[in-house]
Structure 1
Amino acid sequence: MEATETLIVLPAEHELVGRQCIVCNGELQANDEVVVCPRCKTPHHAACWREVAGCGRHGCPTVAVAVKKEKAEPAGDAHLLKRTPREKALIALGIVLALGLLAFVMRPGPDPAAGRIKIDIMVPGGIHETSYYEPFIDEFNDSQSELYLAFSVTPSLAYQQKLVVLLGARDAPDVFSLGEEQFRMFAENKGLLDLTPYLEAEPELVNRFFPHGTDRYRVNNGIYGIPHPARDEIFTIWALSPNPDTAWDILVMLLEKISTDWPEELTGELIFAP
C-alpha cells in the first residue's frame, strides 16, 4: 500500500529549510508547515499542497489523502436554527425567488456549433497562445457549415489536473497536447488514439512531422503522438473521440499552420515545467 503524506513543522536545523516549494517557489523556513510528496519526495508548503490537492510537480500523480482542505464546520448556536413559521415562509420564498433568478441567469446560451460536428481542442498556455490560435480558429469556424472547432487554452499548472478529470468523466477534448512524461503515461493507460493507421495511409506526413524519427512517440508498437514543430509538446487524439477521422484532419491542419507561422518568441518554451 502506498504511503500517505505527512505534515511536518520544520525545525530550524531541518535539511528542507531554504529549499523552494514546488508550487509557489517560495522558500521553506523554520516553523513552516511542510508536506513532502511520498512518491517523488518534492517539498511543498502545506497550504500549497492543500490548494492543488496533492503533488505540484508536473508528471507526479500523487493526490492529497491525509492533508487536504478542511470543510468548514457550521457556525452558530443551535437556537439560531429555530425559526418561527413566518420566518420559515419568508426564507422559503427567498429561496424560490433566488433559484428562479439563478435559473434565468444560468440558462444555457445558443450552441455555437449550431448542429455542426464539433471537435474540441485543448492546449496548455496563456494569453500568447490564445492570441496565436484564436484568430485562426475563428476564421475557420466562420468558413464552415458542417464543422465547428471548440478551442480552449488552460494554464500549465492546472492543465494536467483538468485533463485527468475530463478523461475520467469521458468528456476529454478530441485533440490535445502533452509533455513527454504525461504523453507516455496516458498512452500506456490507453487514453490516446493510435495514429499508426493514419500515418500509414499518408506516409509523406512521417517525413514532414517527424524530423527526428518516430521512436520517441511509440508506445507498445503504436504511434500515439506527433511532436509540436517548435516546442516541447506532443499533440494527441483522445482514444474515445466520437469523430477520430475528423479529429485527425484537424490535427494535421493545426500542425501545418504551426509549421508555417509559429511565433519565434514562443519557440522552445518548456511550458510543462513547474
Structure 2
Amino acid sequence: MKETVTILDNSFEEKATCPACEQPLQAGDKVVRCPRCKALHHFACWIGRGSCSTLGCRQLADPSLMPDRPRRVDPQVKDNLLVPKIATVAALLLVIGGLLWSIFGPNPPSESRLIILTKAGDYAMQLVKLGEEFAAGLEELDKVDVVAVPTESPFAEAQNVFDQKMVLMIVGKEPPDIVVIPRSKMNIYVQNEALQPLDDLRAALLDTPVGSLLERGEIDGHLYGVPSGHPDNYLCLPTVAQNSEPARRFILYLAEKLPWAEEP
C-alpha cells in the first residue's frame, strides 16, 4: 500500500494532530495519510521518520518520497580520487614556476649541481652512487643531489607527499632537474606541458640497454620518459629544470649503468 500526499484545503475541519510531532494539522499543511492506520502526518514528519508514528502501526514510508541522501565516499576511495587532482596542481605549479623564472630568473646557485627527485629506497641509493661517479667526471658539475621522498606508508601514499615535496622545491627556487615518476603521473604532467620532450636523446638511447624499452616512455609519438630500471617509473625532465643539458647527459649515463634487468 502506498501513501497519498495531499495539501489540506480550507474545508479541512478535522481536529487532528500529527502523531510524530504532536502538533495540530491545519489548512494549507502538506500531509501524508498512512494507508494502514489512516493517521495523518505532516509530510516532513513522515519522511523524516521514514514510517508511521502511530503506536503499533508498521507502515514504512514509500522510498520514492524519501529525499536523496548524499552518498558516503569511502576514505580510501576519496584519497584515490584526490591523488590525480594533487598531481595536476603540481604539474600546473611546474609550469607557473617556469614562467616566473623566465621573468625574474632563479637565485644564482652557489655551486653547479643536478637535483634528482625520486622515491626513497634502494633505487635512490643507486642514484646517489651513480651521481657521484657522474659528477666526478665533469668539471662543470660539482655534485648530483638525490632527494629521496619516503612514500611507502599508507599515510604518505594517501597524502601524495611526492607531489607536495616537488611543490615545496619549486617554491623554494630549487626545482628538480630530473624527476622519477610513474607512467600515470607522467601522463598528467605532459597534459599540462610540465615535462620537456627527450626526442633529441632517442638516437643515443637506442644504442643503450634501454633502447628496446623506449616506447614505454612515449606519449603522442614523443619521448617524455626514459624507463628508469625501477618498475613502472621513468626518468623525466620538468620544464622548470635549471640544468637541462647536464640532466640529459646524466640520463644517458644512467641508461648505460642502471640494472635494466629489473624492468618488467
Conserved 8 A contact 1:55-1:61: no
Conserved 8 A contact 2:199-2:223: yes
2:67 equivalent in structure 1: none
Give 1:230 shift: 4.6
* Aligned-partner Cα distance in 1 for 2:164–2:184: 14
2:140 equivalent in structure 1: 146
| Count of residue pairs brought into register by the alignment | 164
1:272 equivalent in structure 2: none
Give 1:57 shift: 6.3
1:88 equivalent in structure 2: none
- The question of 1:61 aligning with 2:61 is answered no
1:134 equivalent in structure 2: 128
2:118 equivalent in structure 1: 123
2:223 equivalent in structure 1: 223
Conserved 8 A contact 1:175-1:237: yes
* Aligned-partner Cα distance in 2 for 1:118–1:170: 14
Letter in 1 for 2:200: P
The structure with the larger Rg is 2
- The question of 1:160 aligning with 2:163 is answered yes
Gapped regions of structure 1 (runs ≥ 5): 1-34, 37-41, 46-53, 64-113, 270-274
Instruction: Please give the residue correspondences for 1:251-270 in structure 2 after superposition, counting only pairs within 5 Å.
Output: 251-259=251-259, 267=262
Could you tell me the percent identity over the aligned residues? 17
Q: For 1:87-127, what per-residue CA distance to the aligned partner results, in whole angstroms no more than 9, with x for missing partners? A: xxxxxxxxxxxxxxxxxxxxxxxxxxx9542211111123x
2:248 equivalent in structure 1: 248
Give 1:59 shift: 4.3
2:239 equivalent in structure 1: 239
* Aligned-partner Cα distance in 1 for 2:173–2:80: 24
Q: For 1:135-186, what per-residue CA distance to the aligned partner results, in whole angstroms no more than 9, with x for missing partners? A: 3333444555420212111112321332244457664200111111101000
Name the TM-score, length of structure 2 as normaliser. 0.51
Conserved 8 A contact 1:193-1:239: yes
Conserved 8 A contact 1:116-1:146: no
* Aligned-partner Cα distance in 2 for 1:159–1:223: 23
Give 1:228 shift: 1.8
List 4+ stretches of structure 1 deviating above 3 A: 56-59, 138-145, 164-171
Conserved 8 A contact 2:214-2:227: no
Conserved 8 A contact 1:175-1:247: yes
Q: 1:234 to 1:206 in 2, by over 3 A?
A: same
* Aligned-partner Cα distance in 2 for 1:62–1:247: 26
Conserved 8 A contact 1:194-1:224: yes
* Aligned-partner Cα distance in 2 for 1:132–1:57: 32
Conserved 8 A contact 2:134-2:250: no
Give 1:213 shift: 4.8
Name the TM-score, length of structure 1 as normaliser. 0.49
Give 1:250 shift: 0.9
* Aligned-partner Cα distance in 1 for 2:246–2:86: 35
Letter in 1 for 2:128: E
* Aligned-partner Cα distance in 1 for 2:245–2:124: 25
State the SS of the aligned residue for 1:173: coil
Conserved 8 A contact 2:117-2:176: yes
Gapped regions of structure 2 (runs ≥ 5): 1-71, 88-108, 152-156
Q: 1:150 to 1:119 in 2, by over 3 A?
A: same
